[in-house]
Structures are given as C-alpha cells and as structure tokens.
Amino acid sequence: MTVMILALLIQAQTPTIDDRIAKFVQGDAAAREALIKLGATAIRPLQGARDKAPEKIDELVFEIKKAVAYPKETKAPASLEAKTSLEIKGVKIRDAVAQLQNSSGMDLVCDRFEPADLKSEDVSVVTTDAPVRSALDLMCRQTGLDYGFFHNVVVIARPDRLWPGGKSVPIFGPPGADRQHRTAEEEKAFGQLRAMKVNLDFQDMAVKDSTAYMEAMASMAFEIDGGGDKRMPIFRLKEISIYDSLCLLTQCCDLDFMLKGAGVVINSRDAIAKKVAGKK
C-alpha cells in the first residue's frame, strides 16, 4: 500500500507536457530542455499551444524537428534558410509546393493525403526575399499539414503521420534495410544503393513502375511482394541516392524494403518488420 501511495504521489508531481509548455512560454529554461528531450512527442502539443507564444514555439518546434531528423547529418534543415520570393494565390497545395520547389531548387516531397484530410485545399503565400521556411510554415498552417526532415529531403505530410505519438510506429525513418542484419553480400548492395545518385520525375506512377527505373540504374533485382500498385502523386527529386528514393517512395506508400542477397525486397511494413526480426 505504501509503495502504491508513493507511486501515485510521484506521478502527481511529474509535470505533464502541457505543464512544461506553460512554463516554457513563461521563460523556464529547464522546461525548454525537458521538451527538447521529449523529442517528436512534444511537437504536436507545442503546435497546439502556438497561439500562446507563436514565434517562441515555432523556433522550439523547428529545433526539435532538427534534433529528430533522419539521418542526423542531413542538410535539409539548412536548405530552408535559403531566401526566395513567391506570389501564390489560391493554388492547390501540391501545385504550391511545386512552385516553392522550383523557386528554391530544394527537394520537397509531399506524402499521400486526400482533400478531406486538409483544412483547406488551396493556399495563398506572398513573400519577398524571405526564407523558404517562412513560406512552408504558412502553407502548412493553412492546410493543417506539417513537415519533417527525412532521407535528406523535406517531407510534407499530415502531422499524425510525421509525429504519431503513443505506441504507434513512425511512418518515416530507418527502413528495414537499415534495421536488418546484413550479410557481406547485402552490405555491398546496401553501399551501392546509398552511393548511386539519380534524378527522378514520377507523376502518379505505381510503385512497381517507379522502382523499375531504380532497378535498371542500380543493376539490382527488385522483388515486389506487395503494394506494387500503390501510387505516389508526384515524386520529383534531383541528385538523390537510390537508397533515399526507395525510403521515401515506400514509406509514403506505407510500404518498406529490405535486402535479400544482392537484391531488394519490397512489401508491407508489417511483412518487412517480421522478416527483419527473423533475420536478426
């Protein structure tokens, strides 16, 4: 009974995320550090409290996004500091992202989402010699989307897919190929995928058709056990590794991939997770 009472007292004294956000807004440095340590789980609660201190919360959210980026050494966050001028009025979000990509020259990837997922299908952004980040923040606030740094690009998606919270497995991050125990042959294939750069311009193409190009470029066998008919609306990237391309394509389509000898196997996330667990 005493142990239970002590546990309840400790739990009652432990600050909640909302408590920490309130203290952070008031200038508490310890609360700020605690939120940074919470990582991705703090992002959506912070965004929900944005009206309390917009500029302050935006900066902390950006810092957390950089801290949880994959891979850690990505240059994607720095690319958002480049300045550009935009005049976008009443444009569909995917077209607006394409304009932003063309004006800035940076790599942006839109995850799969439907009009019903958005606060607004259209965005209006007018900036003059302002950081790309400013324009992207405005687009996301108007549509209810968000962005993160994955596979060396900026990924734009629903917040629940970027930062699922709880026990949900994040959509974006290390693929099965990263998590599996690799043989010497698979290690060689892994290095080949990471070293080879490609330019991609796929529009509304099925996974099986998109990966056929990568397969030819890498001179490796791609085996699609499931999800080959899933489609990415737009996939336009320059000088990106085949490894990063595969990560983005499969994860946006709720798939995953791993290595099998000198080849690649693509399947559902659950199927790949089971195979990876079996190979350890």
CA–CA dist 4, 10 (Å, integer): 10
Residues 152 and 213 in one domain: no
22, 37, 67 - which closes a domain:
67
Which structural domain range is residue 55 located in? 2-67
CATH classification at residue 254: 3.55.50.30
User: Is the residue at 199 inside a domain?
Assistant: yes
Residues 270 and 180 in one domain: yes
pLDDT in tens, 218-267: 889 999 999 999 998 888 888 999 999 999 999 999 999 999 999 999 99
Q: Which residues contact 156 (CB under 8 A, 6 or more apart)?
A: 97, 108, 109, 110, 111, 136, 139, 140, 145, 146, 147
Residues 106 and 127 in one domain: yes
CA–CA dist 50, 271 (Å, integer): 39
Q: Which residues contact 61 (CB under 8 A, 6 or more apart)?
A: 43, 46, 47
pLDDT in tens, 118-167: 999 999 999 999 999 999 999 999 999 999 999 999 999 999 999 997 77
Three-state secondary-structure class, residue 215? helix
Whole-number percent of the chain with pLDDT over 90: 75
User: Is the residue at 167 inside a domain?
Assistant: no
Of 143, 180, 196, 175, nearest in space to 251 by CA: 175
Q: How many separate helices (H) and strands (E) can be counted in the chain?
A: 14, 10
User: Is the residue at 249 inside a domain?
Assistant: yes
Residues 12 and 63 in one domain: yes
Residues 146 and 209 in one domain: no
Residues 225 and 264 in one domain: yes
Residues 207 and 158 in one domain: no
Question: Strand order of the sheet with strand 146-150?
Answer: 108-110, 153-157, 146-150
User: Is the residue at 274 inside a domain?
Assistant: yes
Q: Which DSSP category does 240 fall into?
A: E
User: Is the residue at 136 inside a domain?
Assistant: yes
User: Is the residue at 171 inside a domain?
Assistant: no
With contact defined as beta carbons under 8 Å apart, do 172 and 256 qualify? no
CA–CA dist 11, 66 (Å, integer): 30
Burial group, residue 92, by CB count within 10 angstroms (0-12, 13-18, 19+): middle
Angle at 157 between CA 153 and CA 163, to 5 degrees: 95
User: Is the residue at 170 inside a domain?
Assistant: no
pLDDT-derived band at 201, boundaries 50, 70, 90: confident
Residues 98 and 23 in one domain: no
97, 132, 162 - which closes a domain:
162
Residues 41 and 81 in one domain: no
- Report the amino acid identity of residue 223: E
Q: What is the pLDDT of residue 7?
A: 47
25, 45, 67 - which closes a domain:
67
pLDDT-derived band at 5, boundaries 50, 70, 90: low
Residues 84 and 33 in one domain: no
Residues 93 and 60 in one domain: no
R_g of the chain computed on alpha carbons: 21
Whole-number percent of the chain with pLDDT over 70: 95
User: Is the residue at 187 inside a domain?
Assistant: yes
pLDDT of 9 higher than 80 = no
pLDDT in tens, 97-121: 999 988 888 889 999 999 999 999 9
Total number of domains constituting the chain: 3
Q: What is the pLDDT of residue 34?
A: 95
Q: What is the pLDDT of residue 102?
A: 87
pLDDT in tens, 78-93: 999 999 898 999 999 9
Residues 90 and 152 in one domain: yes
